[in-house]
Amino acid sequence: MKKEIGEWLVAIIVAVVLIIIIRSFLFVSYTVDGLSMDPTFEDEDRVVVNKFMQHFSEYETGDVVVFHSEAGPAYVKRIIGTPGDTVTMEDKQVYVNGEPLEEDYVVHTEDTYLDNFTLPELGVDGETLPEDKYLVLGDNRPVSRDSRDFGTVDESQIVGEVQLRFWPLNRIAVNFE
């Protein structure tokens, strides 16, 4: 009986340690709050964020990330500009390094959101994104709070890339580009 209790205690301790390691260094789940990423994500969707891969590769335009902002809680947004990029928006068309960005994920085209921006208008010193700075936008531009509101995001603020939507079950998905 004592041996069995000891084995269970060891198993529980190992499980707790593994959970702590996984949540601290590898993956963490978040709940999407609001409609700023609609239709890619809806309010209350649950996602898994990969914290580990950021140590092996750079974030790219189109990656969906979770980051902490000084303006509030964690946000889920899409990276539009990476360090060294020039990003502008003219008449609801985003241009990265002078080329129009194809954004099939943007379906809300009402005239109610801010457009026609340049990096200096967003608080960037110069025409290109500085090292370790990213420009992020929500897919639902009319309602999204993003770099147009709080400026660029420092790489140190990024938790990781969204890899999986696991809730609701009928919308499980792994590719968000």
Beta bridge partners of 90: 93
CA distance 70 to 111: 28
Residues carrying an active site annotation: 36, 77
Structure tokens that stand for 9 in this block? 């205690």
- Whether the bond between 130 and the residue before it is cis, its omega within 30 degrees of 0, is no
End-to-end CA, the chain? 54
CA distance 164 to 49: 7
